[in-house]
Amino acid sequence: MRHYTKSQRSRIFFWFTSLLVVLSMSLSLVATFVPTRHVTPTPVPTYTPFPTRTPTPMAVSGNRDRGAQLVKTTAPGCDQGA
């Protein structure tokens, strides 16, 4: 390990600090000249409004206690049971 005198250490510290200051200032200067990037804002989601169509009234059967009979339908080509 090399031994330095106090004045040599002070000079090395001074140059090192000066170098850091110059680098910092030059990076700040470069940052002022670089054009800013325009980021496109994220569009606000638009939600489909709740349907306002009047629902079809339930069929009235002879027995009012049971309400309407529900009919089960299947898509064409689907098996009823396997």
For each successive 10 residues of the chain (82 residues), what is the average pLDDT? Answer: 90 97 96 85 79 72 53 58 53
For residue 77, tell me if it sits in a domain.
no
- Residue 64 in domain: no
In a domain, 65, yes or no: no
Instruction: Flag whether the pTM goes above 0.85.
Output: no
Q: Is residue 68 part of a domain?
A: no
| Model pLDDT, residue 16 | 98
Structural domain includes residue 60: no
Which has the closest alpha carbon to 69: 54, 58, 53? 58
| Calpha distance 30→26 (Å, rounded) | 6
In a domain, 53, yes or no: no
pLDDT of residue 18: 98
What are the angstrom distances between the C-alpha of 22 and each of 5, 16, 17, 28, 49?
Answer: 26, 10, 9, 10, 59
Distance CA 81, CA 74 (A): 11
Q: Residue 12: give the domain boundaries.
A: 1-34
- How many domains does one find in the chain? 1
